Structure 1
Amino acid sequence: MADVAARAGVSRTLVSLIFSDKPGASQETRDRVLAAADELSYQPDRAAQLLARGRSRTLGVLTDVKQTFQAEMLGTVYDAAETAGYDVLLSASGPTRDERKAIEALLSHRCEGLILFDPLSGSEYLRSVAARAVLTIVGRKIPASGADSPPINTVRSADSRGIRASVDHLVDLGHSRIVHVDGGDHAVSNARRRAYVAAMRRHGLDAFTRVVTGAHDEEAGAAAARSFLSEPQLPTAVMAGNDRSALGVMDELTRAGVSIPGDVSIVGYDDSPLSRLARIDLTTVRQDGEQLARRALEFTVTRLDDERTGGFECVIEPELVVRSTSGTPTSAGSGGTADVRNP
């Protein structure tokens, strides 16, 4: 504004009044100042204006750059934030970037509200974040540590019901040797693993319960599949921690000549865009990513606009989507002597 004032031959205060559309300047002076701004390609510093009023109206979003389901939710967050009059600042975590560093970067840029997709950090640290900004977590719940614990919004899917529906579906088809390839040491993965064990027990299949440690990526699924191929008998069904892991299992088994679902049925979780492709057609659990993102944005903005509100919680029902990767087990697969050959 100082440059515009110098070009127009007026004071900086007068330029500020004109840009704020307040009275106090003649039309001639107003036109001269606006013309000077055009000549200098001046753009108002919205962030500085908001900070001067004590608000940044900026939301920080943490996402894992490799998780396609989170990427789908981002578009909804941007649209909803724009409608609510907020800007969005994105920070990514990943194999080469520490999550805490990504979160602290958002706080250092004066984000007054944070939306974190499936954070891996411990509860104590996340509560410390909630003491510095309005915090909404998508994917897991953070228990309060006491009456003075800062409120935290949570939005998540009912993962236990999604997993239970998957096990029920496979058991109804005639499967018993159902293996779960989990997502590793992660809050969401832990919940899905517990739900799998409970669902197998409910069907009286404790003897067939088996969890293979994995991760939410294709390589983990492929590694699990290679371990199955090295054994004398294949499982009749594999439930993966997410769609990416399921695709890794599917690819490795297909390369080895295993029929899907003839020899092994496969079920994923998320209903990612790839799972819907005709050549993949993966049976999976659909999470309502758009609804998760909209509620996360809504809760964050509501608490920013009214500090008296407490933390919100929303649990959204998932839906099992049955496609062609799950079917009735073959007699060889359901018996005890399936012939397994390494590729």
Structure 2
Amino acid sequence: MVIEQKPKQAVAEQAVDLKSICRGIEQEMREINQQRTTFALEQINQDLKVCLPLMDFPDQQHLLELSAQMYQNFLKVERTAQQQTAFDQYAFDLAQHPTIQQSHFEQFALRDQYLLKHKGQAYVDLYDAGEGQLVYRRNPQYLARIFAPYLPDAERIFIENLAEQNMQRPIRDGGLTIDAQEVVRRALFWEDYVKNYPDSSYIRDARYLDQVYRMFLFKGTLNTPVSDSYEAEYAIQPSVWYEIEKLAKLEQSRLADQARKFRSFVQMSPQERRNRIPVSLTAQEQNNERANTLALKQLSHYLDLPLNGLSPTRDCFSDAVCMPYQNN
């Protein structure tokens, strides 16, 4: 049997075509704006799948960062005051009734009408950002599917896991949206990631996520505190205590060490805490009406947890990478 060979000229032309596509892809990404269609995005994303395997890591990173700006430009909507009111009402109605069929569609800005009709295409997502705000975003799975397969292991694993985690944002309106078991699962993942990939280009963000999930586990949040007093086992959320008891049995884990110290902290009397963990409250902290302000500060020192909450400048819960908050 004779196998027909592709002519050498055809192979050469195909290679030239690929080089041409890949040379022009950055400019195409920069030209995406709020007038373009999801079809244009999908074409670029297909070209990225072709070009990314041919690039070195710095060039891949450059396009990954550029893709964030590309989607921000695509999802930008300029609204009149009346159109903003109509969209805000839609957000409110959707929060109350998730299956609502939108009425008064014609009151929306034309770009809103287009994006709502095409959400789910080209990784366009409508996202509950809390406090009654609906915003468009790039679905976290975008980077996991378009970029991650072609990146080094450290970056691929970071993106794939953060994408999966942020399909369910962990915090909204000051409260946790995930249960204690999931908090522990994520906390253990980020502890292992920091340990296994110290040279990752995302190591700074991984360390931040490692700290945040420890904080969620042992302190909770403003609207979902782990405890009001930390003065006995029964004063701890039962689901949290159950997970901490399980954690305390693990070996070779900093999180497990903290779980064991947490149990010791809960067993201390207030006087013993004052003796063993000498901390003082600032004037601002003394004016805080929360009853557990002192206990939280003592716990933070005892377990070496961050005193402050979430970063006011960096968002690690909306996408598959951490990004600066946008000024809207």
Which TM-score applies when normalising by structure 2?
A: 0.29
Larger Rg: 1
Higher RCO (Cα < 8 Å, 6 or more apart)? 1
Q: Which has the higher strand share?
A: 1
Which TM-score applies when normalising by structure 1?
A: 0.28
